[in-house]
Structures are given as structure tokens and as C-alpha cells.
Amino acid sequence: MSVVESVLGLVVAVLLAAVGELVSDEIRARLDRIPQGLLRMASKRLPPEQHRTIYAEAWLPELHHILQGDEATPITRLIHGIRFAASLWLSAPKVGRELSADRAFVGSADTTWASLFPYGRDIFYEGKDPVGFVRQIQAEFGFSPALDPRWGEQIGDDTYSFASCCFYCPAEHLDAIYGSDRFPMGS
């Protein structure tokens, strides 16, 4: 075998290895979309007002952990991811029903949001005028939700993404901001 043939063989081998890796990455990325798609289908079975709180904040980060976490090996993560999403698809309506009474629960007795969350909690503005909301909160309550680093953060994957208006609300303002009907809020 000539030197030229050897070099050519080596180049072809390197090229094949590189292409193989690209194909493998491509397949891996496409396979990851199966549990993501299943989870999106599960989210459509939730009441719309729980889309963000349950799907985007609780389920999607867990699926991300399953698919991308340190222990994620290719086959195992796919199996775990599909099982995670499929099981949630089955039970999503039940989760929605359990949580839909959440807001009715507070205010039914002597319960206040401040008593439930004495250290305050993260809440979300879900209206169409975040700038106006920030201005109003600043004027009435003396703090700016926009100073929270998570305000306006982009959440979600490539196909499902939105700007999150998350901020920390001190306990003393929870009932006036989160617990009243004045502002469109979620948690």
C-alpha cells in the first residue's frame, strides 16, 4: 500500500468518524424531542392558567434534568424521559383538578397568603402590560418587580418559549398583590 493510499485511508476514516458523530448527535437530539413532545401534549390537558406554573416551572425543568443531567446516558435518559412524560400525560387532568381549588382555599377561613408564605414567595405577572404593572407596584408598594433578575427571562425550549415575568414578592404584600383580583397573577 502506497503512502498516498494510507493517507487517503486515514482521511476517510477521520471523516467517517466525524460524520458518525454528527449523525449520532442528530439522532440523539431528535430522540430527545419524543419526551418533550409528550410533555407538551400533557400540558395541553392542564387548565390554561396552570400551563406556566405546572408545565413550564415544574415539569419541563424536571424533564430537562432527566435528559441533560449528569447521570443522563443516551438510552436510559430516553426511557426515563418518555416514562416521565407519558405518565404525566395520563394524570395531567387530575393534577389540574387538585390544584384548581388552590386559590379558593386561601380566603376561605382565616388564611392569608402572608401566613402561608411568611418569607414571601416567587410569583408571576401574567398580564399584557408588564411595564405598567411594574410602575404601579413601584408607586403603591415601593418596590420594583423588574429588579428581580428573573423578570423578563426567556423560558422554555425551542418550540415553546415565552418571556417570564417572575419576581419575589415580600410576605407583607402577597395578599394585596397576589391574593387580590386587581392584578393578573400566577405562581
Partner 1 sequence: MPAEEIRLTTTVARVLREFLETPSEPCYGFDLMRATGLASGTLYVILARLERAGWLISEQEHIDPVAAKRPARRLYRLTPDGAQAARQELAELSEKLRPPLPVRTRLGLQGGTS
Provide the binding-site residues for partner 1, judged by CB under 8 A. 54, 57-62, 64-66, 68, 83-85, 87-92, 94-95, 98-99, 101-102, 105, 110-111, 115-117, 121-122, 149-150, 153, 155, 166
Question: Shortest distance, CB of residue 6 to partner 1, whole angstroms?
Answer: 42
Residue (136 or 186) nearer to partner 1, CB: 186
C-alpha Rg value of the chain to the nearest Å: 24
Residue 55 CB coordination number (10 Å)? 22
Residue (6 or 87) nearer to partner 1, CB: 87
Q: What angle do CA 44, 47, 51 make, to 5 degrees?
A: 65
Residue (97 or 182) nearer to partner 1, CB: 97
CA distance 167 to 151: 6
Q: Which helix (H) or strand (E) holds 125?
A: strand 121-125
Question: Shortest distance, CB of residue 19 to partner 1, whole angstroms?
Answer: 27
Q: Are 73 and 79 in contact (CB under 8 A)?
A: no
Residue (65 or 176) nearer to partner 1, CB: 65
